Amino acid sequence: MVLLDVFFHLSSKYAFTLHVAHINYHLREKESDLDEKLVQSFCLKRNIPFHILQAHPLKKDENTLRNIRFRFLEKICTQTRSNAIVLAHHQDDQAETLLLHLFRGGGKKGLSGMRPKNNKIMRPFLFLSKKEILTYAKNGNIPFRIDQSNGHTQFTRNIIRNEYIPLLKKTYPNISKLLAQTSHYGRRRCLS
């Protein structure tokens, strides 16, 4: 919602058309529907074109959901002749991604994490912590919802987020920032 708010304000300042694509996987029943309604309501009030995918995936693993998401985003990007797909990944997501790659044996390329810009995909919030984004939302009275499934250990990423990172923070309070910096360094090393 913060990304949407920021880009809504930027769109009026720099005169570009903003489209919003939302995927409802129906994984959390009513909660998923409330997420959809929040985004749709925000868009309707501001006259932002809203595109929705009602997905009912048979497999609910991270890769399947990611593939559904990116296929839909690319489809909407093509249909609307958009120049970019902008995602709200932040510094904490980057730290989790780096650890995921490291644990899976990702090598040099794995140490690069998510790129801020990769073809049409842009991630402008990679330098911001989740805490900073939440502070912005609260200070700006931006409505948002918390995905309660982020606390479940069904996905490997959630185990890293809820168990490993907090454990590392006891010794290294700035671990997310340090890992994000490492991914930046990893990108530079992979490009050279």
* CATH classification at residue 13: 3.40.50.620
From 26, 53, 85, give the residue that closes a domain.
85
* pLDDT bracket for residue 188 (50, 70, 90): low
How many CB atoms neighbour CB 133 within 10 A? 21
| Whether 61 and 96 share a structural domain | no
User: How many structural domains comprise the chain?
Assistant: 2
| Whether 99 and 8 share a structural domain | no
* pLDDT exceeds cutoff 80 at 2: yes
What is residue 111's predicted lDDT score, i.e. its pLDDT? Answer: 78
Expressed as residue numbers, the domain containing 144 is 87-192
| Whether 64 and 138 share a structural domain | no
Nearest CA among 147, 143, 97 for reference residue 4: 143
| Whether 126 and 178 share a structural domain | yes
* Full-model pTM: 0.89
* pLDDT bracket for residue 192 (50, 70, 90): very low
Residue 122 phi, psi dihedral angles, 5° rounding: -125, 140
| Whether 71 and 94 share a structural domain | no
* pLDDT exceeds cutoff 60 at 191: no
From 61, 85, 109, give the residue that closes a domain.
85
Largest CA distance in the chain: 48
The more confidently predicted of residues 189 and 148 is 148
